């Protein structure tokens, strides 16, 4: 069948391109139009990597792509500001929110409230805790991603946040040891790009500004910030932050890719990261901010620093940074002076001519245009007074401004979101193993619950550190959440068992379970029908993972229970990949990876275990057999003391995640895109929906840049379709996936398979339907470092469709550009 498809493809292009009904709109080329702004770059020094050529000045925004009217309003607003007001608008202040821009009462401007984060209102009481971003990515469900983001933003808005500090497009998960992968989406730029776009649309449709963070290659926490001497002001550098050194092609095809989606979705702001990129701090890297972000991608919003990632004033401003966070004042003697590089320093730089007023005006217009575009000047809810005391970044005793709170405090913003969160929790749970028909459960008479991840956490509603007892439904750091309620597996299974009349015995002490002196079996009276083992893996901001094993002796707990219970089901709550040696145990009949599933984690797992929901989630990363199988280790130490010695060489290039395992033919336990269902799907007949456009050019026509870059890159150039069928006897969602194998003419280092399309479709048992994969120009191009453009290579592409990165059911070969 594959050969037949290949021949059919070749015939289509060469012999009879008009023979099939061509109902598709081909790409619209606009030859002759020039880019509105991309500065020429000296390409000879871009490769090999380690360089960040200067790109000055910082481009002014134009408002194109739909922000023209809002830009006019922002201009009028800027015209009414004094220099001091402008400078302080670009400078954060201690206040109730994690980031604060001061109000200007004479202009009726109530300031800006910036709040974490991607999973909840971090400082919110009476607010919801949604599924984490890695969970949302595992759903492979665009609608879920949008709905989650929209509901999250509604809660933020009701609490008075103008800006959500999220979504996270980096870390991407170059290494599974990165501890913030749960705040981001997938170890794949395409899937992360889709997640970024849907999330930003959801947030901004609710009237809240989104913030794409952390730009860029923020792939490790270790030495993410410089280390300072322990002198009085901690201002003497010992060693600078780690530099992510990336070649130009990898930067474009892997790390910048999801941010291009974010810009296309008109994200209001981007957060430059702690790490350096190719030797320069991300927040003063003019190649990154001026050339790529504001130039090549046509970003119209503002660049804000990560908290403390600003290391200069003038250099950062010239390099394209528009707002410093958290900014702030310092007390010197009797005077409050600005401790940040911006604030009064910025005013002075304007007054003495170091920075031109036009640059400062552009900074403020970039900040205020999304504000007007989203209508935030009209009846925006005031900041809820209750968020202030929950602010760990700038607690109330650090505030210098007299923040006047109006409106009700302790607002309950949850609405009915918990129903949605429960659905999302089930939709994002990945079924990895299911043998001997272990799942779904059928009214088991005798249930054992084991593991310290099953019960309630015992240290309050907000996670600040790892803890032994209790389910992990979120984690720590700026992405942490305050739980208003938490459904635990223990409680939810007990409630269900009560209805069924089942016996439930729970053993939540991992130490006890792994003690050799214990007399097994622990349970009474007979062999349990099922043992549900809840295990966890904690990971959070600030400290990378040192192991991919489950915590609290999780593997030993799994082994111990499985050796006495012949139907052991393992459920993990983890921020990312774990090695799973217990998967080979014959008594481990099922495994579910639930990640950090938010406040309805218990109910959601019951819905999947009992088959009320047919699992449909897929892994957004690889689960390897051994920790040593993963590539791209973090830079965890340097053995010299030079200031700039922390270097992380991304010399695996494009071989990130599954791309590496595929390129080196390494067996994996569970591959990227893998996840089982209670039914069985098939996919066949991958074929073009319409002929490839006959006049496709290798390089895109040079059209004026819009948010997202050259619009020609986002045009569909080729569309494939396939038939997907549910051949089992349970209704369910299938997730057909499309991967591309580039022609052999593509430069070396191109991975064998790269995700370029997916869908999530509901299929009742016995039914089939056609799914469509639209390929945009960017999807079939590689970044040509010499042309500094996206090029469709000559020769034959192979498109592979199926249900994971290693489960292809149909292929199709086609040449888009002839030699
Ligand atoms: C994190 C950001 C966060 C900021 C404010 C930083 O440490 O990297 O993601 O938004 O703090 O809390």
**CA-CA distance, 117 to 306, in Å (whole number)?**
13
Tell me the best of 92, 183, 221, 541 to mutate to test the pocket of ligand 1, counting ligand atoms within 8 Å of each CB and taking the most.
541
Tell me the best of 183, 209, 283, 306 to mutate to test the pocket of ligand 1, counting ligand atoms within 8 Å of each CB and taking the most.
306
Answer yes or no: is the C-beta of 183 below 6 A from any ligand 1 atom.
no
> Where along the chain do its domains lie?
2-387, 418-613, 679-817
Distance of CA 548 to the CA centre of its chain: 20
Joined tokens for residue 567: 């139907």
Answer yes or no: is the C-beta of 98 below 6 A from any ligand 1 atom.
yes
Task: Indicate the class that CATH gives domain 2-387.
Answer: alpha beta
**CA-CA distance, 368 to 301, in Å (whole number)?**
9
Quick: pLDDT tens for 111-163.
Answer: 999 999 999 999 999 999 999 999 999 999 999 999 999 999 999 999 999 99
Task: Report the separation in Å between the CA atom of 519 and the middle of ligand 1, taken as the mean of its atom positions.
Answer: 48
**CA-CA distance, 375 to 281, in Å (whole number)?**
34
Q: What percent of the chain has pLDDT over 70?
A: 91
Tell me the best of 165, 217, 481 to mutate to test the pocket of ligand 1, counting ligand atoms within 8 Å of each CB and taking the most.
165
Task: Report the separation in Å between the CA atom of 417 and the middle of ligand 1, taken as the mean of its atom positions.
Answer: 25
C-alpha gyration radius of the chain: 27
**Would you say residue 453 has pLDDT above 70?**
yes
Task: Report the separation in Å between the CA atom of 310 and the middle of ligand 1, taken as the mean of its atom positions.
Answer: 13
Beta bridge partners of 336: 331
Answer yes or no: is the C-beta of 221 below 6 A from any ligand 1 atom.
no
**Phi, psi of 790, deg, nearest 5:** -85, 125
Asked if residue 164 lies in contact with residue 115, where contact means CB atoms within 8 angstroms, the answer is: yes
Quick: pLDDT tens for 213-222.
Answer: 999 999 999 9
Asked if residue 270 lies in contact with residue 299, where contact means CB atoms within 8 angstroms, the answer is: yes
**CATH number belonging to domain 418-613:** 3.40.50.1700
**CA-CA distance, 213 to 271, in Å (whole number)?**
5
Note the pTM of the prediction, 2 decimals.
Answer: 0.94
Q: State the pLDDT confidence band at 231, using cuts at 50, 70 and 90.
A: low
Task: Report the separation in Å between the CA atom of 662 and the middle of ligand 1, taken as the mean of its atom positions.
Answer: 34
**CA-CA distance, 689 to 771, in Å (whole number)?**
10
| Cα–Cα distances in angstroms (integers) from residue 451 to residues 434, 497, 594, in the given order | 20, 18, 15
Asked if residue 721 lies in contact with residue 771, where contact means CB atoms within 8 angstroms, the answer is: yes
Active site residues: 306
639 Cβ neighbours under 8 A, 6+ residues apart: none
Residue 211 exposure: Cα atoms within 13 Å on the Cβ side:
26
Q: State the pLDDT confidence band at 209, using cuts at 50, 70 and 90.
A: very high
**Would you say residue 499 has pLDDT above 90?**
yes
Beta bridge partners of 540: 543
End-to-end CA distance of the chain: 26
Asked if residue 321 lies in contact with residue 338, where contact means CB atoms within 8 angstroms, the answer is: no
Q: What is residue 389's three-state secondary structure? A: helix
Q: Does domain 679-817 have CATH number 3.90.190.10?
A: no
Quick: pLDDT tens for 278-307.
Answer: 999 999 999 999 999 999 999 999 999 999
Q: What is the model's pLDDT at position 520? A: 74
Q: What is the model's pLDDT at position 519? A: 74
Neighbours of 768 (CB within 10 A): 15
């Amino acid at each position: 069948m594959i050969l037949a498809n290949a021949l059919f493809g070749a015939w289509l292009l060469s012999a009879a391109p008009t023979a099939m009904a061509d109902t598709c709109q081909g790409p619209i080329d606009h030859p002759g139009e020039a880019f509105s702004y991309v500065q020429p770059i000296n390409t000879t020094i871009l490769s090999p990597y380690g360089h960040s050529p200067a790109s000055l000045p910082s481009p002014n925004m134009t408002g194109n792509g739909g922000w023209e009217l809002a830009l006019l309003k922002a201009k009028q607003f800027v015209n009414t500001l004094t220099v001091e007001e402008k400078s302080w608008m670009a400078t954060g202040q201690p206040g109730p929110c994690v980031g604060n821009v001061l109000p200007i009462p004479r202009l009726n401007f109530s300031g800006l409230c910036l709040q974490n984060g991607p999973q909840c209102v971090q400082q919110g009481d009476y607010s919801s805790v949604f599924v984490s971003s890695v969970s949302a990515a595992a759903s492979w469900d665009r609608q879920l991603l949008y709905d989650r983001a929209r509901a999250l933003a509604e809660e933020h808005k009701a609490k008075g946040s103008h800006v959500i500090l999220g979504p996270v497009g980096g870390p991407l998960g170059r290494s599974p040891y990165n501890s913030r992968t749960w705040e981001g989406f997938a170890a794949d730029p395409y899937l992360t790009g889709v997640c970024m776009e849907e999330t930003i649309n959801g947030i901004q449709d609710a009237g809240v500004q989104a913030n794409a963070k952390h730009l860029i290659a923020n792939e490790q926490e270790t030495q993410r910030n410089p280390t300072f001497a322990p002198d009085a002001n901690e201002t003497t550098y010992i060693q600078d932050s780690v530099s992510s050194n990336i070649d130009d092609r990898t930067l474009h095809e892997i790390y910048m890719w999801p941010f291009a989606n974010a810009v296309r979705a008109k994200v209001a702001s981007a957060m430059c990261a702690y790490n350096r990129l190719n030797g320069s701090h991300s927040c003063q890297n003019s190649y990154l901010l001026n050339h790529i972000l504001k130039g090549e991608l046509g970003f119209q919003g503002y660049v804000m620093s990560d908290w403390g990632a600003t290391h200069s004033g003038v250099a950062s401003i010239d390099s394209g940074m528009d707002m410093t966070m958290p900014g702030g004042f310092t007390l010197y003697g009797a005077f409050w002076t600005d401790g940040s590089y911006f604030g009064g320093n910025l005013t002075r730089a304007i007054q003495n001519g170091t920075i031109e007023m036009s640059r400062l005006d552009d900074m403020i217009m970039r900040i205020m245009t999304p504000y007007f575009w989203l209508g935030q000047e009209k009846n925006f809810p005031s900041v809820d007074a209750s968020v202030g005391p929950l602010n760990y970044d700038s607690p109330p005793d650090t505030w210098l401004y007299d923040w006047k709170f109006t409106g009700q405090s302790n607002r309950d913003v949850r609405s009915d979101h918990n129903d949605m969160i429960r659905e999302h929790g089930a939709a994002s749970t990945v079924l990895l193993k299911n043998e001997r028909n272990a799942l779904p459960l059928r009214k088991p008479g005798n249930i054992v619950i084991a593991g310290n991840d099953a019960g309630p956490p015992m240290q309050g509603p907000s996670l600040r550190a790892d803890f032994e007892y209790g389910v992990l439904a979120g984690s720590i750091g700026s992405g942490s959440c305050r739980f208003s309620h938490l459904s635990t597996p223990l409680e939810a299974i007990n409630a269900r068992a009560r209805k069924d009349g089942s016996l439930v015995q729970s053993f939540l002490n991992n130490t006890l379970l792994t003690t050799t002196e214990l007399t097994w079996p622990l349970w009474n009276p007979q062999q349990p029908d099922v043992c549900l083992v809840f295990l966890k893996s904690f990971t959070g901001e600030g400290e990378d993972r040192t192991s991919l094993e489950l915590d609290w002796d999780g593997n030993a707990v799994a082994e111990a229970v499985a050796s006495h219970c012949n139907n052991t089901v393992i459920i993990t709550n983890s921020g990312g990949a774990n090695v799973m040696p217990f998967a080979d145990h014959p008594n481990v009949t099922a495994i579910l990876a639930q990640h950090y599933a938010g406040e309805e984690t218990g109910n959601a797992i019951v819905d999947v275990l009992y088959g009320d929901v047919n699992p449909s989630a897929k892994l957004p990363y690889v689960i390897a057999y051994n920790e040593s199988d993963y590539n791209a280790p973090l830079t965890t130490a340097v053995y010299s003391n030079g200031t700039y010695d922390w270097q992380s060489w991304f010399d695996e290039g494009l071989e990130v995640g599954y791309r590496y395992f595929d390129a080196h033919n390494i067996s994996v336990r569970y591959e990227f895109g893998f996840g089982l269902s209670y039914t069985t799907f098939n996919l066949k007949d991958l074929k073009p929906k319409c002929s490839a456009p006959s006049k496709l050019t290798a390089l895109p026509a040079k059209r004026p840049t819009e948010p997202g870059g050259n619009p020609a890159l986002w045009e569909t150039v080729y569309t494939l379709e396939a038939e997907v069928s549910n051949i089992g006897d349970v209704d369910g969602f299938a997730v057909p996936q499309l991967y591309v194998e580039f022609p052999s003419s593509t430069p070396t280092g191109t991975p064998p398979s790269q995700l370029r399309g997916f869908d999530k479709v509901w299929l009742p048992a016995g039914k089939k339907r056609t799914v469509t994969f639209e390929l945009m120009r960017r999807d079939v191009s590689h970044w040509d470092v010499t042309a500094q453009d996206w090029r469709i290579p000559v020769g034959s592409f192979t498109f592979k469709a199926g249900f994971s990165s290693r489960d292809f059911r149909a292929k199709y070969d086609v040449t888009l550009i002839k030699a």
